[in-house]
Amino acid sequence: MPKRYTPNDKWSQKAAAEGYRARSVYKLIELDERFRLIKPGMTVVDLGAAPGSWAQYISEVQDGSGRVIAIDLTEIEPIEGVETYVADITDTDALDRILPDQVGLIVSDLAPKTSGIGDIDQWKSIELSQAVVDVMRERLRSGGKCVMKVLRGADFDEFIRECKSEFAEVKTFQASASRDRSKEIYVIIKKT
């Protein structure tokens, strides 16, 4: 049985103590340590970036040597070393104005506005993940990686099959910083 939701759990407290905007940063840290995602000098795009903890961490790792672009539907408070934009990731015209042609890494902790109806929320998550894959097809350089959060459910296996039919390297990862009750899993894709 999953643990009860604790709004101010140890990860939230740790994030506050270490100056991060959200507990989700520890998911990216774990992903980065496991898959060696962020490299000096690379251009990184954070889709669905608000409140900005992932972009914040990426900027720290880059230490001014790369470019970090954070995009969300809502405004992101300024982060040192990060370009922030308000845009919809399905708006190709907006992305054409914001993004360079080729980037080294795309990260996405996007989640749909939840309805409380599991099947609908999971379907919306898959829809957002497909939008991330569309951005990846257009903008990720050969050899680059994409990391995205997806909610597991009825459409998850089909989404993974589709990704594996198109991309040579597709992995999944459950971050220890994810809430026990969460159906989220991270999908890591390397573009060939």
Evaluate whether 71 touches 65 at the Cβ level (below 8 Å).
no
User: In sequence order, which ranges of 36-140 are alpha helices (DSSP H)?
Assistant: 53-62, 92-98, 118-139
At 9, list the tokens.
């759990």
At 24, list the tokens.
């989700």
Evaluate whether 180 touches 2 at the Cβ level (below 8 Å).
yes
Element (H, E) at 82: strand 82-86
What is the Rg, in whole angstroms, of the alpha carbon atoms belonging to the chain? 16
Evaluate whether 107 touches 131 at the Cβ level (below 8 Å).
no
Tokens 């995205």 appear where? 148
Total Cβ atoms within 10 A of residue 135: 22
Catalytic positions are: 149
